[in-house]
Structure 1
């Protein structure tokens, strides 16, 4: 007679059937059966259990796996606050299109409606943070519930799903078989009549421009965009999550990234364009009321999901289809030799020269720290195209988004939907696990770093090669400089100073102080050559932050 299986066994096997490599989380009595299976399994296909220091950071790590691979990362926690601590991480994942399956322990079914220890309405709580939130009532439904949550998380628009697991359900006997490995869901390309219409619009446009959004960053879509550009060389503007769509060979097509403030070269190019081809664009990245204000040209919206229509975003043509297949059909149907006018090419070349001049490090008479561009230049010289760079939220993230180059999709990661503090280090841990043979860099401010800095212990425990840069100035500076621009003073932004090198050493990581720009290169070289995590504490001079608010466009809206 075969051994009896319970709900935990079924869930464990279901994760293996879907190829889950890692489960991030914290233990607790409601999920200890599942954690015990993961800890002691000798099955080579078993997911590796990664114990973290906080549930929110576990959710960030799972979302990092989702963003890097396009397949759901998994987070598991116990009941009550173990579940509620997931909320920020799951909201961020859902907003920014990162697939995650979250597993939350729950009190036994007959205690759910009582005021018992750690009893909260988990399913209802998570319903607003996820694409779908369910509670399993029968152990025989666990496998199909996980399979559907996995599929829903991955389907466009990707995001988080949540499964509430009562303790007694995980303990109950299971008599049904687990769901097998799911087949990928294929979406068709646009029909030929639509392709013909798109091609005619592109041929008749004076300045067609691609706006590459978050769903342009899959390898398939990126390859199709690059093939289209080889057929017809036109400008491309990336969103923050579209970073890396343009590779080195096509750098002449790169006209910056857009996000936050409407004063970038990308904004100017979009405004001048008489045909914007928005590919995988999501308004949460950069609202159309900013970049589409007072434009007179048309918009083609090409995406795997239907767009959100607003007063500021009403595309003349909406194409809901497989993005890569549709782009390939467009490229194949464009005429050979299609090109922009010589006059326009010269104009774009001059714009690019002006754009590149913004990367030059300014001369300073009395520097009060390291200039942001000095940090970016030093880091740019240290990394290669395979380096994953994760960026937290703060003033540093605006500087990085505008000036740091990345030539592969999903290798420069930003939180630009929720702008969530603390994502960088957890994402870096996910990247170091998923890409173990490539360097990983995490960039954070002193404020955001301490939202998840306790996970430095996790990185040390796993011996992950992560270089953590901390831009240190003693303020929540992204708020500070905007307050000063509005009111001439700041409020509520001063924070205490921390010696981040000693902080790193207390966790068993390497800590390095940098006092000036001249020490940056050697510090980075040492960090990249060191096994395990290194934290570099950099005093940053943000006195040029006001330039981030400078007006490039006459109708710039602050």
Structure 2
């Protein structure tokens, strides 16, 4: 007699067919059969990572998506379990990460009653996902799962949500699950349009590529690197596109990253350019009203999807299609092209400015805390090109985004679309699960650390090989503070109080270290990277220079 197949079994079958290796979540009564099916001993089931909070679980699914290119999956129970997924789904959709959240739900007969943990899940999730559906018939589970995976991997990768009522999870299913179908594929942009773009680049005095997160997948990055190698085109990265320029081409193509405040070398280069080609750029990364404030730039948009038009982003052409194929075709069309001599001379000056900005012009005022650039420099010495570095949100993230060098795409991870606090530790944990042979680095502020610090227990349980460096300014939300000080007489709501980070780390079974004086910074970090298992390093930091981050804005075109 054949074994009964329950709704939960069909869900797990879909996860297997979509080659999901890890699933993150927390169980509950409304969805417990799904957890039973995940851990039923089937050899090729995804590995379940039980977390301390659903928000951290969805962050971990987001990191899985960003690092593998597959859809990351999270499972949570009904009511508050599903509610805790919203921040992560919102972040995934905003930042182009393919994530599928499966949420428990009350039985179908209770959907419209004031029942324990009943909530209109799909109504909550619809505005912040590419796809949200509630399964009403057990025989439809397979097709809804297939469509959810497909939606997460669309032209704009993002979140998908499936609500699984308890009685559907428990139901016996007779319909055979669907086979795996390859997703929809794009071809390159129109050849005629690419020919015209090649002509425009050839005629431009100073063409510049502005690359966003949709240009940071492996295939597109490889095609972009060929363009850099063959033609030495200058590249400005958004924060989430960090690492596109390889080490061997840094001296000819890397001109920094842009985001937040319009005062970087990349901003000045964009303002001076007579042709900006955006590649996989999304306006949520760095609004056009910042980098094209005057609205004078000539822009060509190369992407997987149509652009969002606004007053400061009106591309002369939109070339929509598979980015890697489009760039490969453009590479062939540019054969024989060389940057103009005048452009090469101007770029050399911009490159010197970039080098100068990495230098510390003033030491720490009190001799007890480390200058942000000293911390960046010390961290840089502890990593190699294969090290995956995750960065939380806070003042430290601005310093890291501007000054920390990275030479492989998706090896410097940060939340820039939503600027979501608490992501660094969960993301680093996933990087460690995927690459146990490497030491993973997470960089966080003392405020963001407390958002997800409980997951240290999970990191210890799995003996994850990571170092978490906390930039500690004594219990303040400093990224808010210095911007309030620029706008108002005094800051408000920015003090949350100090925590003994070393004791906190040790209480979970992690190693806790502290830099007691700046001279010890390199020595303590070296010890941290040589220590097995999760390590937390408390680094008192001098944020007295933070207002300089928002100074000297580019206010006019640099023709």
What is the TM-score normalised by the length of structure 2?
0.97
> Alpha-carbon deviation of 1:182?
2.8
Q: Deviations over 1:397-431 (max 9, x none)?
A: 00000000110000101111111110111111111
Counterpart Cα distance in 1 of 2:342 and 2:14:
59
Q: 1:131 and 2:141 equivalent? A: no
Contact map agreement 1:123 1:135 (CA 8 A) in 2: yes
CA contact (8 A) 2:510 2:534 kept: yes
Query: Which residue in the other structure is 1:116 paired with?
Result: 115
Correspondence for 1:198:
197
SS at 1:105 equivalent: strand
CA offset at residue 314 of structure 1?
A: 0.5
Aligned to 2:232: 233
Please name the residue that 1:508 is paired with.
509
Q: Deviations along 1:405-464, whole A, 9 cap, x unmatched?
A: 110000101111111110111111111112222221111100111001101111111110
How many angstroms apart in 1 are the aligned matches of 2:134 and 2:555?
Answer: 53
Q: Is the 8 A contact 2:367 2:517 kept in 1?
A: no
Tell me the distance in 1 between the aligned counterparts of 2:368 and 2:552. 26
Aligned residue in 2 for 1:222: 221
Does 190-199 or 176-185 show the bigger shift?
A: 176-185
1:389–1:428 CA contact under 8 A, matched in 2 = yes
- Following superposition, the deviation at residue 192 of structure 1 comes to 2.1
2:540 paired with 1:543: no
| Whole-angstrom distance in 2 between the partners of 1:330 and 1:45 | 41
Show structure 1 runs of 5+ residues with no match: none
* Alignment check: 8 A CA contact 2:367 2:518 kept: no
Contact 2:269 / 2:350 at 8 angstroms: preserved in 1? no
Q: Please tell me whether the aligned partners of residues 261 and 553 of structure 2 are also in contact (alpha carbons under 8 angstroms).
A: no
Matched with 2:250 is 251
Structure 2 SS opposite 1:456:
helix
> Gapped runs of 5+ residues in structure 2?
none
Query: For the residues of structure 2 that align with 1:184 and 1:424, how far apart are their CA atoms?
Result: 31
Query: Would you say the 8 A contact 1:375–1:517 is kept in 2?
Result: no
Distance 2:341 2:295 in 1: 24
The answer for the alignment partner of 1:360 in structure 2 is 359
Secondary structure of 1:149's aligned partner: helix
Distance of 1:516 and 1:339 partners within structure 2: 50
Give a deviation string over 1:40-59, Cα, whole Å, max 9, x none. x3222111111111111100
Residue equivalent to 1:435: 435
Matches within 5 A, 1:30-41: 30-39=30-39, 41=40
The aligned counterpart of 2:496 is 495
Q: Look up the match of 1:8.
A: 8
Q: Is the 8 A contact 1:463 1:532 kept in 2?
A: yes
What is the alpha-carbon distance in structure 2 between the residues aligned to residue 118 and residue 130 of structure 1? 22
Match of 2:555 in 1: 554
User: Following TM superposition, by how much is the alpha carbon of 1:555 offset from its aligned partner in structure 2, in angstroms?
Assistant: 4.2
| More displaced 10-residue stretch of structure 1: 293-302 or 352-361 | 293-302
Q: How many angstroms apart in 2 are the aligned matches of 1:379 and 1:214?
A: 24
Q: Distance in 1 between matches of 2:384 and 2:354?
A: 22
Q: Secondary structure at the match of 1:413?
A: strand
User: C-alpha distance in 2, partners of 1:20/1:454?
Assistant: 25
Residue in structure 2 matched with residue 186 of structure 1 by the alignment: 185
**Is contact 2:368-2:518 (8 Å) kept?**
no
Shift of 1:519: 1.4
The question of whether the paired residues in 1 share the 8 Å contact of 2:368 and 2:517 is answered with no
8 Å contact kept, 2:194–2:319:
no
The equivalent residue for 1:141 is 140
1:485 Cα deviation after fit: 1.4
Residues 64, 430 of structure 1: 8 Å contact kept: yes
- Determine the structure 2 residue equivalent to 1:166: 165
Distance in 2, matches of 1:346 and 1:36, equals 64
Q: CA offsets, 1:95-126, max 9 Å, x none?
A: 11101000000000000100010011111111
Cα deviation per residue 1:486-516 (whole Å; 9 max; x = unaligned)?
1242111012111111100000000001112
Per the alignment, residue 291 of structure 1 pairs with 291
Q: What CA distance in whole angstroms lies between the structure 1 residues aligned with 2:226 and 2:309? A: 29
- How many residues are treated as equivalent by the alignment? 554
| Equivalent residue number for residue 414 of structure 2 | 414
Equivalent residue of 2:38, what SS?
helix
1:58 aligns with 2:57: yes
Out of 100-109 and 512-521, give the one that drifted further: 512-521
Alignment partners' CA distance in 1, 2:497 and 2:18: 46
How far residue 295 of structure 1 moved from its aligned partner, in angstroms, is 4.7
What's the offset of the Cα at 1:356? 0.7
Match of 1:152 in 2: 151
Separation in 2 of the partners of 1:386 and 1:182?
Answer: 33
State the match for 1:86 in structure 2: 85
Task: Report the Cα offset of residue 298 of structure 1.
Answer: 1.5
- Counterparts of 1:367 and 1:481, CA distance in 2: 21
Task: Show CA shifts across 1:337-379 (max 9, x none).
Answer: x222323212211221121111112342533411111110000
Partner secondary structure for residue 198 of structure 1: helix
1:317 aligns with 2:351: no
* Residue 120 to residue 297, structure 1, CA distance change in 2 (3 Å): closer
What are the Cα deviations for residues 243-288 of structure 1, in whole angstroms up to 9, with x where unaligned?
A: 0000101102111100001111111111111110100000000010
Name the CA distance, whole Å, in 1 between partners of 2:435 and 2:17.
Answer: 22
Distance 2:188 2:518 in 1: 50
**Structure 1 contact 231–334 (Cα < 8 Å) conserved:** no
Aligned alpha-carbon RMSD (Å): 1.2
- Secondary structure of the 1:263 match is coil
SS at match of 1:220: helix
Query: Which moves more between the two structures, 366-375 or 424-433?
Result: 366-375
- 2:398 is aligned to 398
Assess if the C-alpha contact under 8 Å between 2:244 and 2:407 holds in 1.
yes
